[in-house]
Structure 1
Amino acid sequence: MKTALWLYLFLFIAFFDLHAQYPILTPFAISLGAAPTFIGWMLGIYSLTHLPGNLMAGPRVDKHGSRRYIMFSLTAAGLILIIQAYIHTPWELLFLRAISGFVLAFLSPACMTMLAQLSDHPVTQGKYMSGHGVVHTLASVLSPAAGAFIVASFGFSGTFRSLGIILVITGLMAYFTLPKTAPALQAQRSDGHAAPAPLTGAQPLLPFNWRYLLVPFVLACGQGILFYVIPLRNNGTASMMSTGLLFSIISLGALCTLSLLFLNKYSPMIRLICGIILMSLCFYALATLPESMIGIVLFILGTAKGITFPALASLFIRLGGERLGKTFALQSIATSIGSFVGPVLAGQLPVHFSPFFIAFLILMTGLLFIPIQRLFPAPPLSTSGPYHS
């Protein structure tokens, strides 16, 4: 449990630093003389360089463990932020954002793998994943306002320096607090169980059915559409305050269900399917109900997210087996692609067509591809009976 608390602290600081930049980056790029098109590339380059980082992170985390990659990701991201405080051109910002996306791609697979390896009990693993969701949600609620406040007090350079120093210190703390081997693996080895076999080229490319990767993809598509549409309400005339309030309502709904730890006793597949159905119905409601109902629907959508994402993490833990690093890296890749496709798709739709309805169709289509036969395993063949000899 001590290791889990340290991991939650590091994740909170990392997510806080990252989300605190969201209201800062665009004004900072404008102050450097960046054009709107360039700003779009500057924001998108982070997801693009995330993909090769995820591809490299999976096998390396499985082979070397999570500790060194958590330290590397936090420290390198902090140094990049410190350098970012001293740049003077938009191209320098674009280059640093590209590097930042690559180095931070190692953080999530490494942390998720270590959290999963803290216990070999499915319910306990589910609770750890729920805690990860709570930490992420809290950071996403608190950090944007905090980032805007820090900029108002210390300016862009002071903000990037302070956030970078915090990340570097956090990376150094990880060196002294995180174990080299996960406690659950240590217990297995001390009990005489064999250590996991080294990874070889003879193993299959995917440790599970590829259709499971469609789930994080469609979920990220739906979220990307949501994050694209909400700020553009009322033909783009909605105030920043009302938009921020709506995003906070989603996070509060997620916190409500993330706090219900007893949900982890139920099958991850059942929770995942119920959560996706509820999310898709919320998108359908957003497409059909009047504007006055948006707050209630978004709160329910947040509760659905609080059910869905811990269940998805628990399901990938069971699917990944001893290759958790690669499993979570593939999940991150599918999420990154979905986060890129969702807003792009929403931006191409005609004005009279609701993007929320497209999100509803995407989620329901993804639901059809989930191999639900795991919910209904085949009964064992009988070894006795009138035809058994």
Structure 2
Amino acid sequence: MRQTSMEKMHIFIVMFFMSLVMSVQAPIFAPYAAKLGASSVVIGIMLSLASFTNLTGNLIAGPLVDRFGKKVFITLPIFVSGGLFIAHGLATSSANLLLLRALNGFSLAFLIPSAFALLSGYAKNSHQQGKNMAINGILGTIASIVAPIIGGMMGSAFGYENTYYTIGTALLLIGIYTTLCLREKESIIVVGSHRKAFSLIQVLQKKSLQMVFLTGFALMYIHGVIIYEVPYLAVEQGLSTAITGVLFSFFGVGTFFSLSLFFINRFNPMKRIMFGLFGMCMSLFAVFTQLLTLPLMLFLLGFFFGIMMPAMATALTDTVSSDGHGRAFGVMSAVYSLGMITSSFITGIIRDVLSPYFVAFLIGMLTLMILGYSRIQSGSPKTARTPYQY
């Protein structure tokens, strides 16, 4: 038991420091790209292309993770990404930055499905699964609170290039720690008789998972708007990157608060998903109608984001058996990337004529309507009910 706890702790440590280091770049990427001559549309294309290559890698990663194990697909991307981030600091044009961003998106595509699949092997039931995901979310949220402030201060004090050198070096150190400490883990999840190993096609065809994936798309579309719009304020309004980092931290504080409410994990994950999406939509409505200030809106969005993320991971693992987690998390990560692609591209095009927050609100509400309709249909007497089915 103690050895298992130590092994799980290593996963949490690796994922925490990965989140910390990766989040450092959040407030500096858009200003750095603008410094190299990128327009708002080009910045949107950069973010979209990185998400597209990430999506492609996610779909490739899932089956490979299930077949060859998790550790190799965690360790290798960390080393590759560290080298690419160092190269970010050497970029001389927006074209260089575009290529590096795309390559980095592809390399990191293998990391997230592998890490979540490895972590999911340490849960015996749905409640433990939700708790593990919530703990990981708390650690990631702490990183997202601290890192943007650090990144903003480093960008202002040392310059964008030196900040990227630091990020790359830190990732290489994390890679060394992962190589020495992380261990492969066989799943100990108890699989019920109603669950069986799913192929990639079966994962895509299962209706209950389709609803989770649809929600993931809407969630990442909204998140993409925040990632794009908040840093761009620094460019448009002459704000320092340090202030931008503080704004991002409001989102992290809200997420940390909701993830700390462990009793929420006892509720049906589908109900948590719908509640969280509704809250995010109302927060977006309040900001584009100017009923709320941006810091308060970011806090509320972070709060509901923290409710949804563990719920979606739990709904996924409750439906797919452990030997299919790599495929399922790979598809989920690909859907997340697709949401970011769509969000970044559309936001870069429409932001001068239409509020991106309004468009995100419409997408969120449309998704909520589809989820509600699907839940009503699954509750029909003619429909067989399974755990967590819509």
TM-score, scaled to structure 1: 0.82
Q: Which residue of 1 aligns with 2:204?
A: 206
Change (3 A) 1:378 1:238: farther
Encode CA deviations 1:12-58: one digit per residue, 9 max, x unaligned. Answer: 22122222123344454566x54436555444332121121111111
Equivalent residue, structure 1, for 2:307: 307
Assess if the C-alpha contact under 8 Å between 2:250 and 2:295 holds in 1: yes
1:3 Cα deviation from its structure 2 partner: 2.5
1:317 maps to 2:317: yes
1:219 matches 2:222: no
Deviation at 1:215, TM superposition (A): 0.7
Identity %: 28
Task: Give the drift of 1:67.
Answer: 1.1
Inter-partner Cα distance in structure 1 for 2:312 and 2:305: 10
The number of equivalent residue pairs is 372
Whole-Å Cα distance in 2 between the matches of residues 345 and 175 of structure 1? 39
Q: Distance in 2 between matches of 1:52 and 1:94?
A: 17
Asked if 2 retains the 8 angstrom alpha-carbon contact of 1:4 and 1:128, the reply is no
Kept in 2: contact 1:254–1:306 (CA 8 A): yes
SS of equivalent residue, structure 1 residue 180: coil
Asked whether 1:246 is paired with 2:244, we answer no
Task: State the Cα distance separating 1:149 from its structure 2 match.
Answer: 3.6
Q: Measure the CA separation in 1 of the matches of 2:70 and 2:382.
A: 38
Partner of 1:98: 102
Task: Give how far 1:287 is off.
Answer: 3.0
- CA distance 1:354–1:88, change in 2 (3 Å): closer
Cα deviation, 1:303-331, whole Å, max 9, x if unaligned, reads 21111111111111112323111111111
2:170 alignment counterpart: 166
Question: Cα gap change, 1:105/1:233 in structure 2, threshold over 3 Å: closer, same or farther?
Answer: closer
Preserved CA contact (<8 Å) 1:269 1:375 = no
Q: Deviations over 1:105-141 (max 9, x none)?
A: 1111111111111112111110111122212222222
Contact in 2 for aligned 1:49/1:102 (Cα 8 Å): yes
1:288 CA drift (Å): 2.9
User: Where does residue 335 of structure 2 map in the other structure?
Assistant: 334
Q: CA deviation at 1:257?
A: 0.8
Query: Distance between the aligned counterparts of 2:15 and 2:375, measured in 1?
Result: 32
Matching residue of 1:385:
none
Identify the range of structure 1 (71-80 vs 17-26) with the bigger mean alpha-carbon deviation.
17-26
Match of 1:264 in 2: 265
CA shift, 1:294, in A, is: 4.3
The amino acid of 1:280's aligned partner reads C
Q: Does 1:178 align with 2:182?
A: yes
The correspondence of residues 1-389 of structure 1 with structure 2, limited to 5 A, is 1-29=5-33, 33-36=36-39, 38-151=42-155, 155-182=159-186, 184=188, 204=202, 206=204, 208-209=206-207, 210-230=210-230, 236-237=236-237, 239-240=239-240, 243-290=244-291, 293-322=293-322, 323-349=324-350, 354-370=355-371, 371-372=374-375, 376=379
Deviates more, 1:95-104 or 1:353-362: 353-362
Q: Which runs of 5+ in 1 are unaligned?
A: 382-389
Whole-Å separation in 1 of the counterparts to 2:342 and 2:126 = 33
Counterpart Cα distance in 2 of 1:156 and 1:231: 14
Q: CA RMSD in A?
A: 3.5
Given that 1:63 and 1:199 are in contact with CA atoms closer than 8 Å, whether structure 2 keeps it comes out as: no
Q: Is the 8 A contact 1:17 1:143 kept in 2?
A: yes
1:165-188 CA-partner distances (Å, limit 9, x unpaired): 321222222223222223526xx7
The answer on whether the counterparts of 1:270 and 1:375 sit within 8 Å (CA) in structure 2 is no
Q: Secondary structure at the residue paired with 2:202? A: coil
Go from structure 1 to structure 2 and tell me whether the alpha carbon gap of 1:5 and 1:341 turns closer, same or farther (over 3 Å shift).
same
Contact 2:10 2:181 in 1 (8 A): yes
Letter in 1 for 2:307: I
> Hey, what's the Cα distance between the residues in 2 that align with 1:347 and 1:30?
13
Q: Which runs of 5+ in 2 are unaligned?
A: 385-390
**2 CA distance for matches of 1:48 and 1:81?**
18
Letter in 2 for 1:99: L
- Greater Cα offset, 54-63 or 365-374: 365-374
- Aligned-partner Cα distance in 2 for 1:115–1:107: 12
Cα distance change, pair 177–42 in 1 and its aligned pair in 2 (3 A): same
Please give the per-residue CA displacement for 1:235-256, whole angstroms capped at 9, x wherever unaligned: 9437346554433222211111
Does the 8 Å contact 2:8/2:122 carry over to 1?
yes
CA distance in 1, matches of 2:380, 2:7: 35
Alignment CA distance shift 1:207-1:133 (3 Å): farther
Q: Distance between the aligned counterparts of 2:247 and 2:87, measured in 1?
A: 34
1:204 is aligned with what amino acid? Q
Residues 82 and 172 in structure 2, CA contact (< 8 A), matched pair in contact too: yes
Q: 1 CA distance for matches of 2:107 and 2:234?
A: 38
Distance 2:305 2:280 in 1: 7
1:358 to partner: Cα distance = 2.9
